[in-house]
């Protein structure tokens, strides 16, 4: 049986006059596109273009849902009451789904963005709110998130498909969690290390922690970053290396 993995990246993270992600290049690499839905980024025309490109490229469309925070790019954690948060997420999924359907497909999964992603790792109420919104929209939609997060636990408990992801360019602790970005060495700069970690995650389902131990990492998808200079090129190289290692790149959704 072939080893398979999904590649996901954030796309459509511009807004109006501003662009950020190289959507065209990323669509040629990933199998799952986390499309910004207007709350942290993503104007309607960009959403349409990314959906059209994703359908043309056979890439799955996911709703990258966020706090309502354009000024902070969704990176500022917010105390949103759970009901309100669920409604804000429903709104975003619905908006994206209209573009996906207009292009002949539909939203295939949901992934929280930025501060909401991080908060749903440990915040019971907000994790439950995300799950509730997805369940309400379509109980068949998977949620993509961090292995071990409350978000994926709640999703599984509610009967949703919980899809864990790993990072090729982030350092891991011996506990299998990510080294905080505030620590030195949290992000791998060396492309060879990134490639090696990608292949190790896909083929051995492990990473080498920064402390040296080999640690199990359960991941059905690899998250590639798309908003840094050279990101799209690195993503291409990672995909090529995975395929050269015999890994089949297929979406989970």
Binding residues (CB under 8 A) for a copy of itself: these are 13-20, 38, 41, 43-45, 47-48, 68-73, 75-81, 83-84, 87-88, 90-99, 101-102, 115, 136-137
- Residue 76 beta carbon to a copy of itself: minimum distance, rounded to whole angstroms: 5
Determine which helix (DSSP H) or strand (DSSP E) holds 6, and give its type and residue range: strand 4-11
Least Cβ distance, residue 234 to a copy of itself (angstroms): 20
Could you tell me which of 252, 188, 247 has the C-alpha nearest to residue 221? Answer: 252
Of 116 and 195, the one with the shorter C-beta distance to a copy of itself is 116
User: What tokens were used for 105?
Assistant: 């497909």
CB of 162: closest distance to a copy of itself in angstroms? 21
Q: Which is nearer to a copy of itself, 158 or 205 (CB)?
A: 158
Query: Angle 146-57-29 (CA atoms, 0-180°, nearest 5)?
Result: 50
> Considering the complex, what minimum distance in angstroms separates the CB of residue 9 from a copy of itself?
16
Q: Nearer Cβ to a copy of itself, position 95 or 237?
A: 95
Contact call for residues 8 and 144 (beta carbons, < 8 A): yes
Q: How many CB atoms within 10 Å of residue 12?
A: 33
d(CA 31, CA 67): 25
Residue 120, token pair as written in the block: 């749903």
Q: Which is nearer to a copy of itself, 33 or 80 (CB)?
A: 80
């Amino acid at each position: 049986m072939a080893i398979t993995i999904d590649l996901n990246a954030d796309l459509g993270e511009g807004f109006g006059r501003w662009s950020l992600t190289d959507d065209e290049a990323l669509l040629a690499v990933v199998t799952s596109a986390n499309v910004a839905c207007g709350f942290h980024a993503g104007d309607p025309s960009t959403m349409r273009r990314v959906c059209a490109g994703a359908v043309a490229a056979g890439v799955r469309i996911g709703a990258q849902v966020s706090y309502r925070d354009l000024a902070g790019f969704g990176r500022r954690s917010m105390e949103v009451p759970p009901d309100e948060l669920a409604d804000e997420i429903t709104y975003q999924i619905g908006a994206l789904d209209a573009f996906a359907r207009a292009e002949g497909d539909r939203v295939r999964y949901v992934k929280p963005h930025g501060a909401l992603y991080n908060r749903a790792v440990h915040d019971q109420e907000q994790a439950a709110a995300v799950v509730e919104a997805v369940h309400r929209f379509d109980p068949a939609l998977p949620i993509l998130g961090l292995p071990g997060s409350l978000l994926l636990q709640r999703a599984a408990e509610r009967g949703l498909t919980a899809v864990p992801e790993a990072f090729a360019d982030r350092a891991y602790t011996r506990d299998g969690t990510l080294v905080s970005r505030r620590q030195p060495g949290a992000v791998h700069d060396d492309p060879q290390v990134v490639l090696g970690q990608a292949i190790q995650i896909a083929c051995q389902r492990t990473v080498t922690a920064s402390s040296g131990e080999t640690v199990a990492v359960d991941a059905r998808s690899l998250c590639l970053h798309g908003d840094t200079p050279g990101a799209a090129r690195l993503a291409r190289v990672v995909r090529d290396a995975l395929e050269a290692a015999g890994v089949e790149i297929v979406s989970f959704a």
